[in-house]
Amino acid sequence: MEHAELTLRRQLIDTCGAFGPSGLSQGTSGNASARWQNGMLITPSAMDYARIRPSDIVWMGPDGSRTGHRAPSSEWRFHQRILAERPDAGAIVHVHSPAATALACLRLPIPAFHYLVAVAGGDNIRCAPYFLFGSDQLADAVIEALHGRSAALLANHGQVTVGASLDAALRLALDVESLADQYLRARTVGEPRRLTARQMREVLDRFDRYRNGTLDRVEDGPTPR
Domains belonging to the chain, first-starting first, are: 3-193 (3.40.225.10)
pLDDT-based confidence at residue 116 (cuts at 50, 70, 90): very high
Element at 65 (helix H, strand E): none
pLDDT-based confidence at residue 222 (cuts at 50, 70, 90): low
Q: Tell me the average pLDDT of the chain.
A: 93
The predicted model gives 28-54 an average pLDDT of 94
pLDDT-based confidence at residue 223 (cuts at 50, 70, 90): low
- The tens digit of pLDDT for each residue in 197-211 reads 999 999 999 998 887
In terms of pTM, does the model score above 0.95? no
Determine which one of 75, 177, 202, 219 is catalytic.
Answer: 75
- The tens digit of pLDDT for each residue in 9-29 reads 999 999 999 999 999 998 889
* Distance (Å, whole) CA 88 – CA 73: 22
* Distance (Å, whole) CA 14 – CA 212: 30
Determine whether 75 is an active site residue.
yes
Burial, 62: exposed, middle or buried (Cβ in 10 Å; 0-12, 13-18, 19+)? exposed
